[in-house]
Amino acid sequence: MKIGILSQEPETYSTRRLLEAGAEKGHEMQVIDTLRCYMNITSSKPRIHYMGQPLSGYDAVIPRIGASITFYGSAVVRQFEMMGVFPVNGSLAITRSRDKLRALQLLSKKGVGLPITGYARSPDDIADVIKMVGGAPLVIKLLEGTQGIGVVLAETRNEAESVIEAFLGLNVNIMVQEYIKESGGEDIRCFVVGNRVVAAIKRKAKEGEFRSNLHRGGKATPEKITPEERRMAVKAARIMGLCVAGVDILRSDRGPLVMEVNSSPGLEGVETTTGKDIASTIIEFIEKNAKSGKCIRGNA
C-alpha cells in the first residue's frame, strides 16, 4: 500500500514511528507537508498538487494536523477524501474534535460524563457562569489552546472574575469548568484505535502544577482502566467520528469524566510508558480498513 503521513514535522517521534512501522510491513510511506499541498477543486477530477507535482496512487493518509493549521489541514484531508483516499481520521471528525465547545456539546448530547462547563461572552454574565459550574476553584480554558497552554486554575471567586474579564477583554473564546479536586492533578490518557482502547497511561502533574500534560512536566505510568472507562473512551471517539484518538479522562467522585478528545495524539508518551507498539497497531488498522473504507464515523 501507499500511505501518506500529513505532517509538518517529519522528525518528530510520532511521524518517525509511523514511517518505520509502515516500512517494516512493506508499505510505501511518505511524509507530506500539509501546508505545501494545494488543491484543484473540480467536480470531474479533484486533485492535490505537492511541490509542483500531482499526488496520486495513495491508498490511505494519516493526518497529523497541528491545531494552528486545523482549517487548512482539514481542507487537505477533505480533498483526499474526494479523491477516494482512506483517511485514518476524516476531515469532519478532526474539525469536530478541535472545536472544544462543539465536542463537549456532542458528548453531552450522547450522555457522556463531563465536567460541568459554562460558556458566555458578556462580562455581565460572569457571576452566573461561575455559580453555574459550582464556584471557585474552577478552571478557565482557551478554546484554541493545546497541550495545557491557555488553561488557568482560579482558586478564588475574585481571581476567577479577574481572569475571565481579562480573557473576554482580549476578545478570545473561553470556557469555564468545574475543578475536579479529587482527581489530584491526575488524568488517564486512553489511546483508541478503531473500536478498542489499545493502551492507557496515567499522567500526573508535577509538584505545584495542576495540568498533567507531559509537555508541561507531567509524569506518566502505565494504567489499568476499568470497563466503564474503556467503554467511555471508545464511545467518545465514536461520537467524534475518530478512528484514532487520545481520550483524556478524569476520575471523579461521580465516576469517570471525559475532559478532551484529541484527533492527533502523540505516540511517544504512550509507547515509551507502556512498551506497546502503537504505530504498528495504526498501520494494521489501515491494512484492515483502507480498501473497504470502513471506520467509525460520527454523524453530528
Same domain, 73 and 13: yes
Task: Measure the CA–CA gap between 96 and 26, rounded to whole angstroms.
Answer: 33
Domain containing 280 equals 182-289
Short-list 155, 115, 117, 118, CA closest to 137: 155
Residue 170: pLDDT over 90: no
Domain boundary among 43, 65, 96: 96
Does residue 112 belong to any structural domain of this protein? no
CATH number of the domain within which 44 lies: 3.40.50.20
Residue 294: pLDDT over 80: no
Same domain, 164 and 142: yes
Alpha helices per DSSP H over the chain: 13-24, 70-82, 91-98, 100-109, 126-132, 157-169, 227-240, 268-274, 278-289
Domain boundary among 179, 210, 230: 179
Summarised one tens digit per residue, pLDDT across range 223-277 is: 999 999 999 999 999 999 999 999 999 999 999 999 999 999 999 999 999 999 9
Q: Model pTM greater than 0.85?
A: yes
Does residue 297 belong to any structural domain of this protein? no
Q: What's the half-sphere exposure (Cβ side, CA atoms, 13 Å) at 37?
A: 27
Does residue 207 belong to any structural domain of this protein? yes
At residue 24, what is the residue type? E
Domain boundary among 67, 96, 125: 96
Does residue 300 belong to any structural domain of this protein? no
Residue 85: pLDDT over 90: yes
Residue 299: pLDDT over 50: no
Task: Measure the CA–CA gap between 286 and 271, rounded to whole angstroms.
Answer: 19
Which of the four pLDDT bands, split at 50, 70 and 90, describes residue 122? confident
Same domain, 262 and 191: yes
Same domain, 172 and 195: no
Does residue 138 belong to any structural domain of this protein? yes
Q: Total structural domains in the chain?
A: 3
